[in-house]
A = this chain, B = another copy of it.
Amino acid sequence: MIAIGIDIGGTSIKGAAVDSNGRVYEKFSLPFIKGEPGEITIRKLAETVKEYIGAQKLDNKIVGIGIGCPGTLDVEKGIVNYSNNLCWNELHVADIFKEILPYPVRLTNDANAASLGEAKFGAGKSYETIIMLTLGTGVGGGIIINGKLFEGNQGKGGELGHTVLVVDGEPCTCGRKGCFEAYSSATALIRETKKAMLANKRSLMWKVSPEIELVGGRVVFEAAAQGDKSAQKVLDTYIKYLGEGILNYCNIFRPNVIVLSGGIANAGDALFDPLNQYIKERNYGYQSTPEVKVVPAELGYDSGKIGAAALFFE
């Protein structure tokens, strides 16, 4: 079985044919042109897919087209209701595709697509119940139950970054205060790094990143590794809040595994060792509750494409 998997992002749109073993065929991409009307972008995309399918000689083999897209979607109707990143509003993606191509089209949130990819063919492939968290500008999430993506009513569940961890805490982009995202995103880590730098001008963090505007998620990891106490404190606090949020998802879902992706998840053992220790020490319900391992994602940038295609392999 072969499906087309497409990953729509704010700078480019990427896609490929993917088979039901997770093998990725030759890839295609087109730039995302800011300001272009969404309907035109989708028409161009559908034409690109049509040409690709022809060039790859896959006309009779494609079972469907899966699309991962940021924003609030109506997955049942194939509509992007609203995407802040893409500046799309009530865009009927599936309908436009169907004018150009004869295959069924399924839409899902980009974080869901990446989660399904990891669940089927990446870090979660041996397991039934998987929670994935993407620690990027925000915190995206995906819920896989018995190997299937769970999306909630109209596909609008799975907003795992938008659960309050501190009532009346840090403001969140969603309008509430104290969301998991406001403590565990790369944005939150960078915010706290900058605060700690301004509070301690002698911190090694200034050596790692002399320009405070250019501070990224790695600064605390590098400075802490060199023994900087201010950096270590930022890191400990980050791991504490990330750990508390993850423990919440352990208690709600008791999944087989929790997969972390996004830039921060590339930090390796410096992140995963203390994080797993934090979670192990606070495991729920005496000895009889199975521990949940937190592991890094494995598919990198392909997870979205693979997962979007995998909407047809469930």
Given the complex of chains A and B, what is the CA–CA distance between A167 and B81 in angstroms? 34
Binds B, one of A6-14, A248-256, A263-271: A248-256
- Least CB separation from A72: chain B residue: B285
Indicate if the CB atoms of B164 and A165 lie closer than 8 Å. Answer: yes
Indicate if the CB atoms of A167 and B285 lie closer than 8 Å. Answer: no
Most buried by B among A153, A253, A254: A153
Given the complex of chains A and B, what is the CA–CA distance between A129 and B152 in angstroms? 7
Given the complex of chains A and B, what is the CA–CA distance between A163 and B253 in angstroms? 11
Please report the total number of A residues contacting B with Cβ < 8 Å: 46
Digit string of A128-169 for contact with B (CB within 8 Å is 1, else 0)? 110000000000000101000011111011111011111100
- Closest beta carbon of chain B to A165's beta carbon, Å: 6
Main secondary structure of the interface of A (DSSP, over half): loop
Partner of A286, one of B72, B150, B151: B72
Given the complex of chains A and B, what is the CA–CA distance between A167 and B167 in angstroms? 9
Most buried by B among A154, A163, A175: A163
Given the complex of chains A and B, what is the CA–CA distance between A166 and B286 in angstroms? 22
Q: A72-B289, A145-B145, A156-B290 are in contact. Are A174 and B254 (CB under 8 A)?
A: no
